[in-house]
Amino acid sequence: MGKEIATKVENAKTKKRLKHPFISFMLIITLISSIGYFVSIIMYKKEDINLLYTLINTVIILLFTIFFISASITNNSKHKGTTFICALLLTIYNSLGILTTMNIITIPNLNRVTDFRGKSLTSVVEWASKNNIELDQEYEYSDMIGEYKIISQNLKPGSNPKNKTLTVSISEGPNPNKDVVIPNMVTWDSERVLEFIKKNHLNNVEVEFIESDKVKDTLIEQSKSGNSKRNDEIKLTFSLGEDPLGETKLIDLTNKTEFESIFY
C-alpha cells in the first residue's frame, strides 16, 4: 500500500514538472545555443592565437549549461521564472558569441589590439587615433595584398596596446620594377592575354583593335617579348575580325580590374 502511494506521489511530481513545456523549450534552445557557440569557435577561430583560451571558456559554458539544464529538469519548484530568466540570459550570451565569432556583428573592444591584416590603412588610422595609440607605418611591395591594405603588424591581436607603438606593414601593391619574362603571345585569344597581364601585374600595356582576316579577339601583333619589367611599355594589337560591326555580347564588369574594363 505504501509503495503504491509513493509511486502515485512520484508520478504526480513528474506530471508537475511536465506542466512547463515553454520552460522545457527554452532549455532546449539554451543547450543548442551553447553547442552552436562551441562549434562556431572551432570553425571560425582556427587561426586565433587565443584559440585554446577561448575553447576552454566555451567548454566551461557548455558544461555549465548542461548541469544547469539537468538541475532545472529535476527541480520541483512551482516558481520557474528564475529558471526561464537564467536560460534566456545564457541563450543571449551564446547567441552574441556565435554572431561575433562569425563576424556578423562587431562588439567594440577598445582595450585590445584588433587583427588588422587585410584591412584598409584608414581603419588602422581611425582605431589608433580613437584609442590614443602611436602608429608607425612601414610600406612594402606585395603581389598578394591589395594596395594600402595591411600586410602584418607587430602587436598580436587581442593583446594590450597600453604604452606600446603599433607598427603596421602596408602594401604598395605589386613592385612595378620586378623582372618578368613576356612570351610571344601572338595567336592567343584575348582572355588568355588578359589573364597573363593580370597574373604578372603588367601596368603599362597599350592595346588597339584593327580589322583583320584573323580570328576575332586574337592577338596579331605585340611590340616586345622576352625579359622585361612590369612597367615597361608593351603594345598589343588584336583582331576585330572581318565584321567589326557585328553583334557584341555584353559581359558583367563587376569585380573586373580597370584595365579589363577599358579593354572591354
Q: Which residues contact 251 (CB under 8 A, 6 or more apart)?
A: 264
Closest CA to 168 of 102, 220, 121: 121
Please give the chain's pLDDT, 264 residues, in tens: 555 555 554 555 554 444 567 788 888 899 999 898 888 888 877 656 567 777 888 889 889 989 888 888 777 666 677 888 888 998 998 898 888 888 787 665 556 888 999 999 999 999 898 888 899 999 999 999 999 999 999 998 888 887 889 999 999 999 999 999 999 999 999 999 999 999 999 999 999 999 888 998 899 999 999 999 999 999 999 998 877 666 677 777 777 777 788 887
Q: Which three cell numbers stand for residue 94?
A: 551564446
> What is the residue extent of each domain of the chain?
2-101, 121-171, 179-263
Starting at the edge strand that comes first in sequence, how are the strands of the sheet with 234-239 ordered? 205-210, 234-239, 219-222
Which grid coordinates belong to 145?
A: 595584398
Q: Which helix (H) or strand (E) holds 258?
A: helix 258-263
C-alpha cell at 236: 598589343
| Angle, helix 81-101 to helix 51-74, in steps of 10 degrees | 160
Burial of 101 (0-12, 13-18, 19+ CB in 10 A): buried
**pLDDT for 108:** 59
The CATH-assigned architecture of domain 179-263 is: 2-Layer Sandwich (3.30)
pTM of the model: 0.53
> Do 168 and 134 contact (CB within 8 A), yes or no?
no
Spatial distance between the Cα atoms of 151 and 140, rounded to a whole number of angstroms:
9
- pLDDT tens for residues 175-194? 999 999 999 999 999 999 99
